[in-house]
Structure 1
Amino acid sequence: MNELVVHTSTHSYNIYIDEQIRYQISKFIANDYSSIFIISDDQVAPLYLDDIMTGIETERIFHTVIPSGEASKNIDQYYRLQTIAMEKKLDRRSLIIALGGGVVGDLAGFVAATFMRGIDYIQVPTTILAHDSSVGGKVAINHELGKNMIGNFYPPKAVIYDVNTLKTLPDHEIRSGYAELIKEAFIANAEFLQQLLPLTLATISNDQLKDHLFQGVKIKADIVEKDEKELNIRKFLNFGHTLAHALEAELGYGKITHGEAVAIGMLFALKISEHKYNKSLYYDQLLNWLQGNNYPLSLFHTGIDQLINAMKLDKKAQYQQIQMVLLSSIGKPVVVNLTDDELHSYLQSFKKELSAP
C-alpha cells in the first residue's frame, strides 16, 4: 500500500492508495461516529456503494445519490443534501463519506464543511482526476457565472483510494485524470513528465497507474502543506486552469470534462510561456501527446471576448486583471498578470492554430 501523510493547520490526514481497500473502510475510520452519511452519484453508486457499506461497522448508516456530472455542483443539490442530513438527524459526531469523483468530493466536502459549522468527512475517490481534487481540502459548488466560486478550505479526515474502481472509467475520464497528472509534472517534476509524455493511455497497467497517482498526489500534498490557503505557491496548481474554468463556464458545465478543459488550458499557457521566455517548453510534445490520446482540442465556437470576461471571474483575477500561471522553465511556474489586449492576441492565435487542419 502507498501511504502519504498531509499536514494542515487543523489536523493531519492520511492518503491510502491500493487495490481492494474499498471493502475495508472501517480500518481507516479513526473515530467512533454517531452516524455515517454516504454521498455518491448515479454512475458510481450502482458499482461500489454496496462494497463500501459492507465494510462499515455501524448501524446508523445512510446514503443518497446525486446525478453524475459537473452540473450537480449547484446550490439546489447542496441544499437537498443539507436537508437529508437534518432529516436523518446527523449531529456534530457524524461522518460524511464522499464516494465518487471530483464533483461528489467537492459537493459532499462543502456539505460537511458547513453542516452544523463543520463535521468530519472522508474522500473515497473513484476517478483518476479526483487524485487532485480529493487532496488539499478545497470544497465548493459552482455558480452559473463561475466555477467553484462558493466554497471553503476544509481538509478531509482521510483519502482512501482504491485503484480497482478506476477500471470502469470511460475514456474521457481517463483523459481527464491524466491531464491533471501531466499538470503536476509540468510544474514540479521534469522526470515525472518524461515518464508520462510517451504514454498511450489505453495501455497503462495497474502498477503504472498506482505509481503515477502516488507521484501526482505527492506533488499536490507537498505544495498544499507549504501553502494551505493558496496565498503563495499553491496558485501554481492552477496551471492551465484559468482558460479551463472559463471554457467550462462558457460551454456549460459537463459539456467537456474538467481535465480535458485543463489540457486545453495548459497548452495555451505553454504557448504564452514559450513566447514570453523565448524557450521551448514542450508545447509541441504536449500537443502531440494530447492529439495521440484523443483529447478534444477544439475551442468550439466560444467567442474570445466571452472567454476573457469569464477569465476575469477566475478567483486568481485581481482588480479586473487576469493572472495566469506560466512556466519560466519546466518545474518552475510563475504567476503573471496579462492585459486584455495580450490575451486577445494570444487567444486569437491559439484558436487559429488548434482549428488548422
Structure 2
Amino acid sequence: MKKIDVHLQDDSYSIFIGRNFLSDIGSLIKNKYSFDKVVIVTDDIVDSLYGEVVENSLLKEYISARRIVIPHGECSKNLDMLRYIYNQLTDFGITRSDLLLTLSGGVIGDLGGFAASTYLRGIPFIQVPTTILAQVDSSVGGKVAIDLDGGKNLAGSFYQPKAVFIDIDVIKTLPVHYFYDGLAEAVKCGCIGELSLFTLFESIKTKEDIEKKLENIIEKSCQYKASIVEKDEKESGLRMFLNFGHTLAHALESFKNYQGISHGEAVSIGMSVITENTERMGLTEKGTEKKIKEILSLLHLPIKTSISIEKLMPYIMHDKKIRGDFITLVILESIGKPKLIRVPLEQISTYLATGSSL
C-alpha cells in the first residue's frame, strides 16, 4: 500500500492507496487509530455494494459500527440530509472519541465531512472514496460543504480528515460514464501544474490504457493536490488554481439543478470554454485549447454547452471567488502555467461566453 503524507502541522494526515483492502479496513483503522464507535455514512448504491463489507470488517475488530444510508446524487447534499445525519449521530450516541467514515463519492464525502466538522463542534472523520473523482480530488484537502438554494457548496468549512483510504479496485463497479467523469479533475491537475500527468494523458488512446495507468493517475493527482494544500490550506492564493474551470462548472450544475450533468462533465466544459476565450483574447498560448479538448474528447467528456452565459450569470454571481465588484478567475498562460486574474463583474461574459454566446 502506497502512502502520501499531507503535512499540515496538527492536522497532518496520510493518504493510503492500494487494492482490494476494503474487507480489511477495520484492522487498518484499528492499527493506526483508536476510536470507540464508527458511523459509516454512505449512499444507497455504494451501500448495496460495500456497506456490509465495511461494517463487518469493523465489527470483526470489535469496533461498534452503524451505517447511515443517504439517497445517491448531488440533490442529497442539502440541509435536510445534514439534519438527518445529525439526528442519527445523536441516536447512536456519537462523541468526540468516535469516528465518522464516509464511504462513497464526492457528495457523501462533502456532506459527511461537513457533518463531522460541525457535530459537537467537530468529530474525527476518515474518507474512503469510491469514485475516481473523489479519489483524485474531493477526498483530499479538507473542503467539506453542502449546497444551498442559491448554489453549490455555499455552506461549508475547511476540515481535514484523519486519513484517506483509496481502494483502486472499487472502480471496477463504476458505470463507464462515471469512470470517465472522474478523470476531468485529474486532467485539471495536469493543466495547472502537474505536467507529467498531462503528458501521461496525451499518451492514452484507449480505456485499457487508462486502466493500466489508473494507479499512477490517482497517485500523481493526490501528490499534486497535497503539495498545493500544504502551502495554502485555506485557499488564500495558490490553492485557488485548483478552481480552474469551476466557476462555469458550478453555475452549470446549479442551473440544471444537478440533473443531467455530472461534476466532471461540468468541469470539462468549464476548462474548455474559458481556455477557448482566453486564447482568442491573446492571454493563452496558441494551441492550448486544442491540446486540452483533444484529451477531454478522448475521455468522452463534453467540451461545450448550448446554455448561454446570460442564463448562467445569476448562479455565477453566487461564486465564492467574488470580492466586491470583482471575481478571481483561473486561466492558463500555457499548459502547466496557471494565472489568477481579477475580473470586473461586468466583464465576466468575455471570459466565460459559451458556444451560444460567442
Normalization by structure 2: what TM-score?
0.93
Q: Out of 57, 63, 66, which is 1:62 matched to? A: 66
| RMSD (Å), alpha carbons | 1.8
The 8 Å contact of residues 35 and 58 in structure 1, kept in 2 or not, is answered as no
Matches within 5 A, 1:258-277: 258-274=263-279, 275-277=281-283
- Residue type at the aligned position of 1:243: L
**Per-residue Cα deviation, 1:195-235 (whole angstroms, up to 9, x for no partner):** 11342462245441111000000010000000000011000
Distance change >3 Å, CA 351–CA 218, structure 1 → 2: farther
**Residue matched to 2:116:** 112
**Residue matched to 1:95:** 99
**Residue matched to 2:332:** 327
1:293 lines up with 2:299 in the alignment: yes
Unaligned runs of 5+ in 1: none
The 8 Å contact of residues 141 and 147 in structure 1, kept in 2 or not, is answered as yes
Structure 1 stretches of 4+ moved >6 Å: none
The 8 Å contact of residues 145 and 153 in structure 2, kept in 1 or not, is answered as yes
**Residue matched to 1:21:** 21
1:193 lines up with 2:198 in the alignment: yes
**Residue matched to 1:280:** 286
The 8 Å contact of residues 308 and 356 in structure 2, kept in 1 or not, is answered as no
The 8 Å contact of residues 308 and 354 in structure 2, kept in 1 or not, is answered as no
Structure 2 CA distance, aligned partners of 1:238 and 1:12?
Answer: 23
Structure 2 CA distance, aligned partners of 1:153 and 1:347?
Answer: 28
Three-state SS of the structure 2 residue aligned to 1:255 is coil
Normalization by structure 1: what TM-score?
0.93
Distance change >3 Å, CA 116–CA 241, structure 1 → 2: same
**Residue matched to 1:76:** 80
Structure 2 CA distance, aligned partners of 1:203 and 1:323?
Answer: 38
- Greater Cα offset, 202-211 or 241-250: 202-211
Structure 1 CA distance, aligned partners of 2:173 and 2:316?
Answer: 34
Structure 2 CA distance, aligned partners of 1:224 and 1:346?
Answer: 27
Three-state SS of the structure 1 residue aligned to 2:15 is strand
1:307 lines up with 2:309 in the alignment: no
Three-state SS of the structure 1 residue aligned to 2:183 is helix
Percent of pairs with identical residues: 38
Query: How many residues of Structure 1 are paired with residues of Structure 2 in the alignment?
Result: 352
Distance change >3 Å, CA 109–CA 277, structure 1 → 2: same
How far apart are residue 338 of structure 1 and its match?
2.3
Structure 1 CA distance, aligned partners of 2:260 and 2:44?
Answer: 18
